[in-house]
């Protein structure tokens, strides 16, 4: 009898902590800086477990979670969706910055020298890696990672563990914000991109005037040289614009969480 009673008491606690871990875990896995290969999985799992215990002990008057299998599956899906949507909102900003780097790298002639990105295990242009590192440094310098964790922890006071009912509105918000981030990527790359387009037009005119000039060799040297000089001149503006994008994660996550 005592063993049976202990099981009845421990099972709701285990389910509640699992729900908390699901919401926090999907948030951290969706954030680029934590979800990549730079953070060992054991350390990440330990951090999720410790934070979940802290949240569980700090939440008063928890609503009991139904232990029916169907209800548990729906609850786990809701918790995972809430955490993943909050993390994906931050992914939009990093995706916009890296897209700007990709757009810059190809006309500069750096598309041939692609390297493996340790965060996504995908090939990326050097300029995309550079802008991505700037965004990552600003992400930590501005404490946006702590802001995201605070949002998720505060969400437990509004929607307790296992009480999330996911709706499609959050997906629509992410789609709309994704379109805005694509526009921001073009704006971020615009100063250097316009300069490179001017270089291409000039080389095209040179080809018409002097057909014997080997533009295939000349274009690489000119594009890389002018591109690097333009990028150096635009670095202060790029950092300022990237900082504004990283700060916009606050609004993005807030809009996504309110739509759930």
- CA nearest neighbour of 54 among 11, 24, 94: 24
Where is pLDDT greater, at 7 or 168? 168
User: Would the pLDDT of 5 be above 60?
Assistant: no
**CB neighbour list of residue 25: distance below 8 Å, 6 or more residues apart:** 48, 83
Is 52 a domain residue? yes
pTM given for the model = 0.75
| 168, containing H or E segment | none
Q: How far apart are CA 185 and CA 236, in angstroms?
A: 16
Is 161 a domain residue? yes
Q: Averaged over 141-161, what is the pLDDT?
A: 81
Q: What is the pLDDT of residue 119?
A: 55
Is 9 a domain residue? yes
Return the top range by mean pLDDT from 128-137, 172-181, 249-258. 128-137
Residue 4: band (very low, low, confident or very high) from pLDDT cuts 50, 70, 90: very low
Is 208 a domain residue? no
Is 125 a domain residue? yes
Where is pLDDT greater, at 240 or 3? 240
Q: What is the pLDDT of residue 168?
A: 66
Q: How far apart are CA 147 and CA 177, in angstroms?
A: 19
Q: What is the pLDDT of residue 126?
A: 80
Is 235 a domain residue? no
Residue 120: band (very low, low, confident or very high) from pLDDT cuts 50, 70, 90: low
Q: How many domains does the chain have?
A: 1
Return the top range by mean pLDDT from 26-35, 65-74, 96-105, 248-257. 96-105
Residue 228: band (very low, low, confident or very high) from pLDDT cuts 50, 70, 90: confident
Q: What is the pLDDT of residue 145?
A: 81
Where is pLDDT greater, at 19 or 255? 19
Is 212 a domain residue? no
**CB neighbour list of residue 17: distance below 8 Å, 6 or more residues apart:** 52, 53, 56
User: Would the pLDDT of 3 be above 50?
Assistant: no
Q: How far apart are CA 82 and CA 22, in angstroms?
A: 9
Domain coverage including residue 56:
2-106+118-188+249-259
């Amino acid at each position: 009898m005592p063993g049976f009673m202990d099981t009845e008491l421990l099972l709701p606690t285990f389910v509640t902590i699992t729900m908390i871990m699901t919401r926090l875990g999907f948030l951290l896995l969706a954030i680029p800086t934590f979800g990549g290969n730079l953070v060992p999985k054991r350390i990440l799992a330990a951090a999720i477990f410790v934070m979940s215990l802290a949240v569980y002990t700090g939440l008063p008057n928890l609503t009991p979670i139904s232990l029916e299998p169907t209800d548990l599956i729906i609850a786990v899906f809701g918790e995972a969706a809430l955490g993943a949507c909050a993390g994906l909102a931050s992914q939009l900003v990093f995706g916009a910055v890296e897209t700007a780097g990709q757009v810059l790298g190809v006309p500069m002639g750096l598309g041939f020298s692609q390297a493996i990105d340790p965060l996504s295990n995908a090939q990326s242009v050097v300029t995309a890696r550079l802008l991505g590192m700037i965004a990552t440094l600003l992400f930590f310098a501005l404490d946006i990672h702590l802001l995201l964790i605070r949002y998720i922890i505060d969400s437990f006071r509004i929607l307790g563990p296992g009480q999330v009912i996911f709706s499609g509105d959050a997906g629509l918000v992410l789609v709309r914000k994704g379109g805005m981030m694509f526009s921001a990527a073009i704006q971020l790359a615009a100063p250097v991109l316009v300069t490179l387009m001017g270089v291409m037009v000039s080389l095209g005119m040179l080809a018409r005037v002097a057909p014997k000039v080997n533009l295939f060799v000349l274009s690489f040297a000119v594009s890389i040289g002018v591109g690097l000089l333009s990028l150096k001149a635009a670095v202060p503006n790029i950092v300022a614009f990237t900082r504004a994008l990283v700060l916009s994660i606050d609004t993005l996550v807030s809009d996504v969480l309110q739509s759930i």
